């Protein structure tokens, strides 16, 4: 039976035999779930196509800055604080209802087209799946449940539990303390993969968002164009 660290959700039934091949750890926002929904809503406010990248990128930067300085705010709060400023930088303004409309899109994210196939293929091949996210456990559970993917995941690990954001090494230690030795981190963010490499995890970088990995970072074990391609390479490794 899995132990249940404080603040973490154990999702798998206790009568299911656990994986013997290893564990695949998935980033959630931007990796398993597309950011197209908030991008479309920003366009609805006449924001340019790059507005989502600016908003989300600045949100991550400022969440990381708080964490690095020894403080912390949940990702949702940083997103909320960041949005009006991003729009102001773009020369736009929005009403409270419009801001809420855009912010609420993060509770309506949709899975990447090949995500369910990826999850099922890994599970059928004997791998355990867990989520490791800068988002909250509750919001991640709701996203996975709504998408029909919750049954594939054994646990959700949220940065909220330790009040530090990825890529802090203490975040990756959450999964290292509770899962098998053969651990893979799958993410579409080079900074996330970098943190996982330094923490001693095997890594798979997905090119769907950032296109190229950053040359100054320690390199991942594999680079794939999609989730299912990464799953196939992990299984064959």
Q: Please report the pLDDT score of residue 17 as a whole number.
A: 45
- Do residues 52 and 106 make contact, with C-beta atoms less than 8 angstroms apart? no
pTM: 0.90
Confidence of residue 6 (pLDDT cuts 50, 70, 90): very low
Query: Residue 87: in which H helix or E strand, if any?
Result: helix 75-89
Residue 14, both tokens:
């206790």
Q: To which H or E segment does residue 147 belong?
A: none
Residue 178, pLDDT score: 67
Q: Which of 183, 192, 134 is nearest to 154 (CA)?
A: 183
157/200 Cα distance (integer angstroms)? 17
Q: Which domains does the chain have, with CATH numbers?
A: 9-34+110-236 (3.40.50.1000), 36-107 (1.10.150.240)
First-to-final CA distance of the chain: 27
What count of residues does the chain have? Answer: 237
Q: pLDDT value at position 20?
A: 67
pLDDT value for 181: 75
Quote the distance between the C-alpha of residue 105 and its chain's center: 16
Query: Does 15 score more than 50 pLDDT?
Result: no
Structure-block tokens of residue 169 = 């090494």
Q: What is the mean pLDDT of the chain?
A: 92
Residue 211: how many other CB atoms lie within 10 Å: 7
Q: Is the pLDDT of residue 7 over 90?
A: no
pLDDT at position 82: 98
Mean pLDDT for 100-108 is 97
Q: What are 26-78's pLDDT values in tens digits?
A: 999 999 999 999 999 999 999 999 999 999 999 999 999 999 999 999 999 99
Q: Identify the three-state secondary structure at position 57.
A: helix
Render pLDDT for 140-196 as a digit per residue (tens, 0 to 9). 999 999 999 999 999 999 999 999 999 999 999 999 876 657 999 999 999 999 999
Checking if the pLDDT of 139 tops 50, the result is yes
User: Which of 3-7, 51-55, 106-110, 180-184 has the weakest average pLDDT?
Assistant: 3-7
């Amino acid at each position: 039976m899995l132990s249940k660290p404080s603040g973490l959700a154990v999702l798998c039934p206790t009568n299911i035999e656990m994986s013997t091949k290893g564990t695949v750890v998935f980033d959630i926002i931007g990796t398993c779930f597309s950011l197209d929904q908030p991008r479309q809503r920003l366009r609805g406010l006449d924001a340019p196509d790059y507005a989502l990248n600016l908003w989300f990128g600045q949100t991550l930067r400022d969440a990381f800055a708080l964490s690095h300085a020894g403080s912390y705010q949940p990702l949702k709060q940083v997103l909320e604080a960041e949005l009006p400023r991003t729009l102001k930088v773009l020369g736009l303004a929005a009403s409270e209802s419009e801001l809420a409309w855009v912010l609420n899109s993060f509770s309506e994210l949709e899975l990447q087209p090949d995500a369910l196939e990826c999850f099922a293929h890994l599970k059928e091949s004997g791998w355990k799946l867990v989520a490791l996210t800068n988002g909250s456990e509750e919001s991640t559970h709701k996203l996975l449940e709504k998408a029909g993917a919750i049954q594939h995941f054994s646990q959700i690990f949220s940065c909220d539990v330790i009040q530090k954001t990825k890529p802090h090494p203490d975040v990756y230690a959450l999964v290292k303390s509770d899962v098998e030795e053969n651990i893979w981190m799958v993410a579409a963010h080079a900074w996330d993969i970098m943190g996982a490499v330094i923490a001693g995890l095997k890594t798979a970088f997905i090119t769907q968002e950032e296109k190229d990995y950053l040359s100054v970072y320690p390199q991942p074990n594999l680079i794939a164009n999609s989730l299912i391609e990464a799953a196939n390479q992990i299984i064959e490794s």
